[in-house]
Amino acid sequence: MASIERIIRLAFGACALLLLVMAAPATAQQVNPTASAVKEQQLLQELNRIQGRVSIPDQRSGVLEQPQGREWREFRNVTLRWVGGVAILGMIAIIVIFYLSVGMVRLEAGRSGRTIVRFNMFERFVHWMTASCFIVLAISGLNITFGRPLLLPLIGFEAFSEWSQWAKYAHNYLSFPFTIGVVLIFLMWIGGNIPNKVDVDWARRGGGLIGHDHPPAYRFNAGQKMIYWIVVIGGGLVAITGYALMFPFYMTGIEAMQMAQIVHSIVAVLFVAAMIGHIYIGTIGMEGAFEAMGSGEVDVNWAREHHSLWFDQETARAGPDDGQSRPATEAAE
């Protein structure tokens, strides 16, 4: 009898051991991280994202993982900084080299003492409103891209956080008058900024920036027309993509928002580089150029040298006694 009981106990023990041996691989397979990773990769290949179910109204918050986000992050943290740095620093380097080798483009005939109206008060107001907003938008936008690696180590976390918060407020709210300015610039000056054959000749002759050649031009030469279209097209693109980012998910989903951010940032840094060149020409790069947007009047000799066709049109339309051209002292009053 005792031997039978011993045999039964051994049989039960053997069965229990067999069950443990069989269960061990199954348990290991359930917690195998490699197997989980394979399933995740399969989900990504089939659905292009890993998405769960949520109880809140916005179902898009159920997206747990989106592979394109890695590519976007790489672009934002690496590629964009390279593109922006090369574009902006490259433009500054070109300006410095040009200024050191050529200097300010002077009036060959000197000042005549008489001026002609180039831009009226409304045109100057729109220009300066748009330009002022652009400067703030450029600085605050560059802070988003370059602030952490360049500014944060210099001023510390607390100051950088405070500055970035106010910069973001300014970036958002000043976008509205900037957009209005771009629209007004488009409407005001579209008639004078259609390319023509005169622009081809102007560009071929270098715009008179080097040497003593002054190719004829109407109210806007080829270089100014290029700036005009950069402002209109570039400003339009940064406005549209910027509002898509400012009001997330109202117009599009996450993938399109990532694309909007890429377009917004690339166009913005190229826009900044182009405007640096524009600011140079309009200030220290050319004698008498700033007065066009400063007082609205330019010296007659400046108009003859840089916009001879426009000057001829204005004098022919005004007539000798119209007062279009007047002494500079009278204009200053």
Give the CATH number, domain containing residue 117: 1.20.950.20
Band of residue 55 on the pLDDT scale cut at 50, 70, 90: low
Which of 38, 61, 84 represents a domain boundary (last residue)? 61
One domain, residues 86 and 155: yes
One domain, residues 217 and 239: yes
One domain, residues 221 and 326: yes
List phi, psi (to 5°) of 238: -70, -30
One domain, residues 147 and 190: yes
Collapsed DSSP state (helix, strand, coil) of residue 117: strand
Collapsed DSSP state (helix, strand, coil) of residue 155: helix
Nearest to 273 by CA among 303, 234, 302: 234
**DSSP conformational letter for 65:** E
List phi, psi (to 5°) of 63: -75, 115
| Residue 48 to residue 11: CA distance in whole angstroms | 53
One domain, residues 40 and 144: no
Please give the mean pLDDT across all residues of the chain.
Answer: 83
143 in Cβ contact with 163 (< 8 Å): yes
Burial class (CB in 10 A: 0-12, 13-18, 19+), 47: exposed
What range does the domain containing 8 cover? 2-61
Query: What is the total count of domains within the chain?
Result: 2
One domain, residues 217 and 136: yes
pTM confidence score: 0.79
Residue 144: which residues within 8 A CB-CB, separation 6 or more? 164, 168, 171
CA 31 from centre of chain: 47
| Residue 41 to residue 65: CA distance in whole angstroms | 11
83 in Cβ contact with 273 (< 8 Å): no
- The predicted model gives 156-184 an average pLDDT of 96
One domain, residues 177 and 324: yes
pLDDT of residue 28: 41
| 205-253 pLDDT per residue, tens | 888 777 778 899 999 999 999 999 999 999 999 999 999 999 887 777 7
| Residue 308 to residue 306: CA distance in whole angstroms | 6
Q: Tell whether the model's pLDDT for residue 155 goes beyond 50.
A: yes
Band of residue 81 on the pLDDT scale cut at 50, 70, 90: very high
| Residue 211 to residue 20: CA distance in whole angstroms | 93
One domain, residues 30 and 83: no
Nearest to 281 by CA among 225, 235, 224, 234: 224
Residue 186: which residues within 8 A CB-CB, separation 6 or more? 232
